[in-house]
A and B are shown apart, each in its own frame.
Chain A
Amino acid sequence: MNRIDESEDGVTVIRPSSGWFNLHLDQLWRYRDLVVLFVRRDFVSVYKQTILGPLWFLLQPLLTTVMFTLVFGRLAGIPTDGVPPFLFYMAGVLPWNFFAGSLNQTSSTFVANANLFGKVWFPRLTVPIAAVTNNLLTFTIQLVLFAACYVFFLVRGVPVAPTLALLAVPLLVLQLAALGLGCGIIVSSLTTRYRDLVHLVAFGIQLWMFATPVVYPSSRIPARWSWVVTVNPMAPVIEQFRHATLGTPAVGPGAMLVSASATLVLVLVGLVLFSRVEKSFVDTV
């Protein structure tokens, strides 16, 4: 409804309008400092008043990996495509956490910032973008940890090696970020109307993880369940990340293309929903 035209002479016009897609991309660029500050705020405030401080960024995935190794590797005895279970699970947990963290943090954009949004205008998209950037930062730090563990296994003579696909990992990271952002803003837009979703997000993410080859290789999926992997855009990304880093079987180009297209659609749908909700939600929350 709110269309803001800022022409060269700096006149802002506020009027009701039926436009359904305006993200203020120019304004977003003008507020780039705000994105940086939001990232800093979230990054710093997480470990204030904790004893271990930033170490938690490393401990958290490390503990998850150890847990998965014990439960799924040792107890359940799920095979891991011939690579050490520890590296296998870590290569799944890190990208998954990046995606899930982005989705989770982004999904509360409107509800968590209702008060702020009700008092001052700035491009709303700065908030989800900052959330994803924050998770990207965490992910990058954790990749260093992954590299360290990798070297540890190499020194011990374990036969793993990255493949040439390693060069395309930045693209995978971009896709992870886009998926997290897209799904997150879809959920955040819907939660302004359906609060029920707030309760479903955590559960949904967990369910989604088990539908994604994080704790098992996709080679173990029975044929009649293989469609789950096909419709799940996260599955090829995780598998391909493992292929690139650990040399497990590669994902076919077809599956990658489907997954990338799904990502694009999710982001576009998210942006449309988000731009619609950001105009009216102050009056409805």
Chain B
Amino acid sequence: MSGPVIQVEGLSKRYRLGTLSHQSLRKDIQSGWARFRGKDDPNSCVVGQRGAGLDSEEVLWALKDVSFEVNQGDVVGIVGRNGAGKSTLLKILSRVTTPTEGLARLRGHVASLLEVGTGFHPELTGRENIFLNGAILGMRRGEIERKLDEIIAFAEVDRFVDTPVKRYSSGMYVRLAFAVAAHLDPEILIVDEVLAVGDIQFQRKCLGKMGSVAKAGRTVLFVSHNLGAVRSLCSRALLFERGRLTFDGAVEEGVALYEQTFSGGQGIAPDARFTGPLQNDIHVDRLTCVQSGKPVSVLDPLVPFRIELQGVAKRSFQVLDLNLGVFHDGIYLTTCFDAPPEVALAQGTFCSTFDFPANVFLPGRYTIAVGASASIGEWTWAPDVAALEFADKGIELGVDRRRGVIVIPYAAERRQ
């Protein structure tokens, strides 16, 4: 087949912020009545400006004028920070949402995996869910029947295939879901950050499967924060920043460029929301990961690292500690405090550091929550403030036989 498989021309997606619809019939009638009488809409955001819905303050361009082409057999990694437009692009290409401007041409059957287990029903068995999920993803019944054994074998769930999936562990759930999608045999496979869940062993297996899909001449678009995986799987990278495509080229160059955008220190994720009674008294402005003396976005699990928190206390506290919560796959792994209990904090700026030894976290993605607590009932907290990405050296080396998430110190001995 000649010519590009994916052609994207001037694709833009606009979201309107603020209230477009009032979600309530009464208010819509109120607005309509006001317009009818030529008065100001009482429910409009900007009083006195009718038709202000397109004002630049109320509009967010999640994608702006993006154009690129992908040839058959290309494996393209899409990188960028949260909110850069990666997911919006994939949603448009998967037809879940529509572009505001521009167009995209896709040649061949598209399978998109934006989330694992979409449409799984907890009460149905693994086998029933394979059929349901396959059909949702566009497979005919016959196709699924032919692939059934392969899917079950890949997911390693053969003993549980007639058990309702609500009894599955989260790992089994993810394995089954990925297995269905990976066996779709589409011409174009679109995969969003879905492998962040599941253990590292299975992630490698999935990446291997995606690699073999690509070798069979199929096209893969792959969004991931796992830069190690992007490097080893993709030949080309697209870098997105604030809805624009800022780099399109060789994967090494693209990933290096992406890592540079972090080197000024990782800020707080723009969508992090601090809640709690102290949310106006303590401001955490900056979270930085430092390894070998340099701020980094992707950490080497075999080297010690430091997390620095910088912020401002708007008043002084008799007792206050700052803490980090480490999450993996929604599970709260641990909490770390910057000071022993009952230590005061003076008004003004502060910088707390947390030093971690090497070899604590296994490769994968962890999210950090930041909190501060004074006495009982006086606290502030925000989840998903930053993400830690531990590179998977094992993909290249293929030697790591440790499974799980963290490493704990232990002693073992064998006697014979």
Q: Is B103 close to A, CB under 8 A? A: yes
CB-contact partner of B107 in A9, A197, A283, under 8 A: A9
Residues in A132-180 with C-beta less than 8 Å from chain B: none
CA distance A252 to B93 in the complex (A): 54
Taking CB atoms, residues of chain A closer than 8 Å to B23 are: 193-195
Taking CB atoms, residues of chain B closer than 8 Å to A41 are: 121, 124, 128, 132
B21 touching A4, Cβ below 8 Å: no
Q: Is A221 close to B, CB under 8 A? A: no
Min CB distance A274 to B, Å, is: 16
Taking CB atoms, residues of chain A closer than 8 Å to B20 are: 284
Q: Is A250 close to B, CB under 8 A? A: no
Q: Is A55 close to B, CB under 8 A? A: no
Taking CB atoms, residues of chain B closer than 8 Å to A117 are: 96
B118 touching A120, Cβ below 8 Å: yes
CB-contact partner of A14 in B25, B98, B115, under 8 A: B98
Min CB distance B357 to A, Å, is: 39
| Residue from the set A12, A45, A48 with the largest chain B CB neighbour count within 10 Å | A12
Say yes or no: A31-B135 contact (C-beta < 8 A), given A14-B92, A44-B123. Answer: yes
Q: Is B281 close to A, CB under 8 A? A: no
Q: Is A21 close to B, CB under 8 A? A: no
Q: Which residue of B lies closest to A9 (CB)?
A: B107
| Residue from the set B102, B104, B110, B119 with the largest chain A CB neighbour count within 10 Å | B119
A120 touching B105, Cβ below 8 Å: no
A-B contact count (CB 8 A): 114
Taking CB atoms, residues of chain B closer than 8 Å to A120 are: 94, 96, 112, 114, 118-119, 136-137
Taking CB atoms, residues of chain A closer than 8 Å to B26 are: 196
CA distance A10 to B108 in the complex (A): 5
Q: Is B95 close to A, CB under 8 A? A: yes
CA distance A195 to B24 in the complex (A): 6
Q: Which residue of B lies closest to A121 (CB)?
A: B95
CA distance A279 to B93 in the complex (A): 14
B136 touching A15, Cβ below 8 Å: no
Taking CB atoms, residues of chain B closer than 8 Å to A282 are: 91, 96-97
Residues in A1-23 with C-beta less than 8 Å from chain B: 1-2, 4, 9-16
Q: Is A37 close to B, CB under 8 A? A: yes
Min CB distance B282 to A, Å, is: 34
Q: Is B99 close to A, CB under 8 A? A: yes
| Binary per-residue interface labels of chain A (101-145) against chain B in the complex, 1 for a CB within 8 Å, 0 otherwise | 000000000000001111111100000000000000000000000
CA distance A41 to B121 in the complex (A): 8
Residues in B128-158 with C-beta less than 8 Å from chain A: 128, 131-132, 135-138, 140-141
Q: Is A280 close to B, CB under 8 A? A: yes
Residues in B160-181 with C-beta less than 8 Å from chain A: 164
Q: Which residue of A lies closest to B27 (CB)?
A: A194
Q: Is B100 close to A, CB under 8 A? A: yes
Say yes or no: A45-B121 contact (C-beta < 8 A), given A14-B95, A14-B103, A121-B94. Answer: yes
CA distance A14 to B91 in the complex (A): 11
A1 touching B98, Cβ below 8 Å: yes
Taking CB atoms, residues of chain B closer than 8 Å to A49 are: 123
Taking CB atoms, residues of chain B closer than 8 Å to A34 are: 135-136
A119 touching B114, Cβ below 8 Å: yes
Min CB distance B221 to A, Å, is: 14
B21 touching A193, Cβ below 8 Å: yes
B24 touching A194, Cβ below 8 Å: yes
| Binary per-residue interface labels of chain A (185-218) against chain B in the complex, 1 for a CB within 8 Å, 0 otherwise | 0000000011111000000000000000000000
CA distance A122 to B100 in the complex (A): 20
A119 touching B118, Cβ below 8 Å: yes
Residues in A65-122 with C-beta less than 8 Å from chain B: 115-122
A119 touching B132, Cβ below 8 Å: no
Taking CB atoms, residues of chain B closer than 8 Å to A37 are: 131-132, 135
Min CB distance A251 to B, Å, is: 35
Taking CB atoms, residues of chain A closer than 8 Å to B103 are: 13-16
Taking CB atoms, residues of chain A closer than 8 Å to B99 are: 14-16
CA distance A120 to B100 in the complex (A): 19
Q: Which residue of B lies closest to A15 (CB)?
A: B103
Taking CB atoms, residues of chain B closer than 8 Å to A11 are: 105-107
Min CB distance A53 to B, Å, is: 13
A13 touching B135, Cβ below 8 Å: no
A48 touching B123, Cβ below 8 Å: yes
Min CB distance B120 to A, Å, is: 10
Min CB distance B19 to A, Å, is: 11
B96 touching A119, Cβ below 8 Å: yes
Residues in A28-47 with C-beta less than 8 Å from chain B: 31, 33-34, 36-38, 40-41, 44-45
Q: Besides A10-B107, A16-B98, 8 other CB < 8 A contacts?
A: A1-B98, A11-B107, A15-B99, A16-B102, A34-B136, A45-B123, A193-B21, A193-B23
Q: Which residues of B line the A interface, CB within 8 A?
A: 15, 20-21, 23-26, 28, 91-110, 112, 114-115, 118-119, 121, 123-124, 128, 131-132, 135-138, 140-141, 164, 187
8 A-B residue pairs with CB within 8 Å: A10-B108, A34-B135, A41-B121, A44-B124, A45-B123, A45-B124, A120-B118, A120-B136
Closest 7 CB pairs of A and B: A15-B103, A2-B98, A121-B95, A34-B135, A1-B98, A45-B123, A119-B118
